Structure 1
């Protein structure tokens, strides 16, 4: 009887661990929010057209996350990870003060 109880406990622990890890592995990346502390510090806007041009004088209309060096997606992706936001998804049509034109 002890062997079966031990086997049951080990199997249960293994299954529970596997389920917990699979939830982490298959969860999609988080999206950057305009109200996150990092977003506020970088002046992130999900739509570059709404950037405060007085506050961020270096902004120009041709700048968007999709053509930034840090954007880790293709130019036509709706959103992609950005290392400036800890790998969170940023909008392709977004903008932040860390913008650096892709070569």
Structure 2
């Protein structure tokens, strides 16, 4: 589960805390752009991404009403990440393109 390991490493960088892999939920889904909430990927970034999107998502409930959701948008032909996002309780923590994918 490469995505779960990515989440664990990113979570530690953001919080300084570790989380056991078995407490991280994982899902990979293909979504049309209109199915993505702007709290995850803003409209201006969506315009630069393929449609539909293949998204690997990790979820972790830290307790005390702190839910973390992080995702990697994959490019199907390349099978590599092209965009990442992190949210906590529905608020954006980080969003970024990987390897200049979204540059115009």
Q: TM-score range by the shorter chain?
A: under 0.3
Higher helix share: 1
- What TM-score, normalized to structure 2? 0.24
Larger radius of gyration: 1
| RCO comparison, higher one (Cα < 8 Å, 6+) | 1
Higher strand share: 2
